[in-house]
A and B are shown apart, each in its own frame.
Chain A
Amino acid sequence: MEIDLSQFHSVFFEESFEGLDVMEQELLNLEEDTDLENVNTIFRAAHSIKGGSATFGFTHVAEFTHVMETLLDEMRDGKRAIIREIIDLLLKSVDCLRGMLNKLQDGEEVSNDYVELVNYFNQLLNNNSASSKQVDSGDSTAGNNDMSSQDESQPVFSILFAPENYILQTGNEPIRMFKELRGLGNLSVEADLSKVPSFKDLDPELCFISWELKLESEMEALAVREVFEWVEDDCKLEINSSGGKSVDSEQTNTDDKVNDEQTLKAENNEEVEEFAEPAVSAEPEETPEPVKKLVPIKKEANKAPPKKAATTASIRVGIDKVDTLIDLVGELVITQSMLGELGDNFEMSKVEQLINGLRELEANTRELQESVMRIRMLPIGFVFNRLPRMVRDLSAQLGKKIELDIIGEDTELDKTVMEQIGDPLTHLVRNALDHGVESIEKRLAAGKSETGNVTLNAYHQGGNIIIEIKDDGAGIDPQIIYRKAVEKGLIEDGVDIPKEQIISMIMEPGFSTAEVVSDVSGRGVGMDVVKRNINNLGGSVDISSELGAGTTFTIRLPLTLAILDGQLVRSANEIYVIPLASIVESIPLTSIQVTRIAGNMPVYKNDNEYIPIVDLCDEFEIKHDRQTTNEGLVAIVEGENRKIAIKIDELLGQQQVVIKSLESHYKSLQGVSGATILGDGRVSLILDIVGLSKRSTERMSTRKDRVA
């Protein structure tokens, strides 16, 4: 049978990467707690990768994992102490394997970097068996070829087979073994019934028969013996070849199987393939791809993934989520058939029924949409999991003692958001390690414990996920930032700015140049990039810092990038979507006091704050025939701690809108985060509050300049 093994490659890669993650995590746990179960888990992961890679023809990976596994086995058996050096080596190996698998996944050749590690393992194991095995695998194919040219005459094997009476209970059935022998040549069987007890004493589950068999076969003596391989320990077996010379006539002992075969080799004076290793012989060393390019069998041909199938991303979904979906689809089908029937015999009296049906349809659709979105929701642990390793390595590198606490790793978030939050998050944690937590001496001098702490915390709040990165380090000194900002010309000296705003300036572009970095203890490296990335995801970052006590970065992200709870508003004849989460309140224009400040900028005075009013008609230059200015209302919206009042003509309904990127269809616009298609087919722009408020402040300042 020919089966294309490449169809299983993507699953293999996926589970191998998962296995590597598990190994990494457990190795880190091992440093704190040398629990045997941890070692077992690591062993299993390595073992699975080894089994899979050997089966699917990735010999280099198999070879590498083999030595790893040997070491792990020793650790598991308590023969090898679990020390930091070993854990380091294993972690390095995890990295190396990940690299190898990545290359294989991309269809590239694996470089030979791993050999160094393998050698190191072998050295450590002080055991040449692993390397000699490699040699075996290289030679074995040659051995195979030799085999065919061996036999001159057709030997007759006479076999005496006397199984122990419990043989059937091992699942081994003599008849099946004879059938197999018959496949090797001409077979005659004679049963010896002398030991069978009388019928009333007979236990039907036991076997009392022994057999004498004669087999005419050109096969190797070993091939004949192999038929009995599984029962060697459970029988008396004598195999004699043609001339009556005993090939093998002792009650065999499996422990010495290989030795056994070597004796056999000597006796027969011929080269015999080592059957103990039949598997390795399947693939010669050099080729990372399977040797035989197997042709996929026809009916499955369409299922076989293309060469680079591994690049198609897939996610694992809990069965409960799928079940919910199936239920919902079921309900949808019921509603649909109900509506269908209604449509077939419709009369005006059924309007009520129609409305109910449509309402149900709406509910079904919404639920279905929510459930589908939930499929893409994954626990943030996927991102958090790679951080402990980084903390371990980096803190060792920095000579600091840092402990990482992770809270809320089960908090779910959309896969697309997750993919993009990884780098900013890593950056922030690295920053906390590097510049947040002080050196051991400084900590002790400040009366803190020598081990610093970084805590990651994730939780849901409304339609957002909040991720906090908190360190108990030195904190950020606002004075230094202030001074630097003045130097950089970002602010005027002497201007009174709240502490939070000063600190958040480290995330402004232009603040993060190398020289500033060294002065403000490095904070600011790439911070603007972090901020921009998070903003691009529709999120925000806040910093709070207490000098001497530590710093907390708070990232706020939407749970998903695909759907938004929106408030539809009308301005002139255009309909816009305002993110519902950003709306603070809506007030009729008639009941507010509009004042104008410098530059003729209309503002709305609310308690002690002045909120700039943005008229969408002006902002987007919509033609309108509005006569008076105090008709309509303002929607007070907030983004990144800035409020603006958006002047609109009418509040329409609230609904979930599917966000379409404007950038990919038109171009990126400040103040607009995307577009959506409304129920009636019209395109409506989704307002980006932060962008809008920036636009308005910029305008305000230019006007101010003009006035000045």
Chain B
Amino acid sequence: MTKILAVDDSASMRQMVTFTLKSAGFDVTDASDGDEALNIAKSQAFDVVITDVNMPNMDGISLCKELRNLPSFKFTPILMLTTESSAEKKQAGRSAGATGWIVKPFNPDQLLATVNKVVG
């Protein structure tokens, strides 16, 4: 089963992402900020990481950098949830080692389509 780590500080977004992915048969673990996500990532590997950018404690960009330093996340697809207003964030994400991005707002179908790009 494909394991996905979903990170977002907004509970509604997190629930939506988690629920959508679970409904599609993925094994989803969620975290509410970069700190929490990194702690989880240190103890287990994931096939895909989906993270929001703007978060308290540790933002998505820093999380991405930190994850790339972990051996088991060297090649793991990391997707950023960004908004259209943050083109520079995409760039920052990419230099931090992010694989790609999902532009907010997105609907469940778009989310799954994007995730399917990087699994399998």
Chain A interfacial positions (CB closer than 8 Å to B): 1-3, 5, 7-9, 11-12, 14-15, 41, 43-44, 47-48, 50-52, 54-56, 62, 66, 69-70, 73, 133, 168-173, 176-177, 179-180, 205, 229-230, 233, 254-255, 257, 276-280, 282, 297, 300
Contacts and interface: CB of A to CB of B under 8 A. Distances in A.
B9 interface: yes
19 contacts: A1-B23, A11-B11, A15-B11, A51-B104, A54-B104, A54-B105, A55-B12, A55-B104, A169-B68, A170-B97, A171-B76, A171-B77, A171-B97, A177-B117, A180-B117, A230-B99, A254-B90, A279-B105, A282-B106
Interface in B7-23: 9-13, 15-16, 19-20, 23
A2 B91 CA distance: 32
B54 A47 contact: yes
Contact of B108 (A1, A44, A52, A73): A1
Contacts of B75: 168-169, 171, 173
Contact of A48 (B10, B24, B76, B91): B10
B23 A170 contact: no
B38 interface: no
B54 A11 contact: no
**Considering the complex of A and B, which 5 residue pairs feature the smallest CB-CB distances, nearest first?**
A54-B105, A171-B99, A230-B100, A12-B12, A171-B77
A51 B10 CA distance: 9
B20 A3 contact: yes
Given A3-B23, A11-B15, A52-B12, A172 B106 contact: no
A262 to B, nearest CB: 15
A273 to B, nearest CB: 13
Given A3-B19, A8-B19, 6 more contacts: A41-B56, A51-B10, A55-B13, A168-B75, A171-B75, A171-B97
A170 B94 CA distance: 8
Contact of A176 (B54, B68, B118): B118
B112 interface: yes
B103 interface: yes
A416 B117 CA distance: 50
Contacts of B13: 48, 51-52, 55
Interface in B28-79: 52, 54-56, 68, 74-78
Contacts of A62: 105
Given A47-B54, A169-B68, A171-B76, A176 B16 contact: no
A255 B94 CA distance: 13
A8 B52 CA distance: 17
Looking at B15, B54, B76, B110, the one whose CB has the most chain A CB atoms below 10 A away is B54
A169 B74 contact: yes
B108 to A, nearest CB: 4
A164 to B, nearest CB: 12
Contacts of B81: 51
A282 B101 CA distance: 17
Contact of B85 (A41, A70, A169): A70
Contacts of A12: 12
Given A171-B118, A279-B84, A5 B54 contact: no
A133 B118 CA distance: 30
A257 B56 CA distance: 30
Given A170-B97, A171-B97, A172-B99, A276 B84 contact: yes
A5 B108 contact: yes
Nearest to A136: B84
Given A1-B23, A15-B10, A176-B120, A169 B97 contact: yes
A170 B98 contact: yes
A47 to B, nearest CB: 5
B75 to A, nearest CB: 5
A297 to B, nearest CB: 7
A8 B15 contact: yes
Q: Report whether over half of chain B's contact residues are helix, strand or loop; otherwise say mixed.
A: mixed
A51 B104 CA distance: 6
Interface residues of B toward A: which range? 35 or more
Given A11-B11, A15-B11, A170 B103 contact: no
A177 B90 CA distance: 19
B21 to A, nearest CB: 10
A5 B16 contact: yes
B116 to A, nearest CB: 9
Nearest to A303: B19
A282 B78 CA distance: 24
Given A8-B16, A276-B84, A44 B9 contact: yes
Nearest to A171: B99
B106 A55 contact: yes
A51 B83 contact: yes
B20 A1 contact: yes
A44 B54 contact: yes
Nearest to B118: A176
A279 B103 contact: yes
Contacts of B109: 1
A230 B55 CA distance: 23
B108 A15 contact: no
B105 A282 contact: yes
A168 B99 CA distance: 9
A472 to B, nearest CB: 37
A233 B95 CA distance: 10
Contact of A55 (B16, B55, B84): B16
A12 B16 CA distance: 10
Nearest to A37: B56
A297 B22 CA distance: 13
B25 to A, nearest CB: 10
Given A171-B75, A171-B97, A254-B90, A55 B20 contact: no
Contacts of A280: 84, 105
A297 B99 contact: no
A56 B90 CA distance: 23
Contacts of A14: 11
Contacts of B118: 171, 173, 176
Contacts of A3: 19-20, 23, 108
Contact of A205 (B11, B16, B74, B99): B74
Contacts of A51: 10, 13, 52, 81, 83, 104-105
Contacts of A169: 68, 74-75, 97
Contacts of A205: 74
Contacts of B12: 8-9, 11-12, 15, 52, 55-56
Contact of B117 (A2, A176, A276): A176
A12 B103 CA distance: 19
Contacts of A56: 12, 16
A94 to B, nearest CB: 17
A684 to B, nearest CB: 44
A609 B102 CA distance: 78
Nearest to A226: B117
A280 B84 CA distance: 9
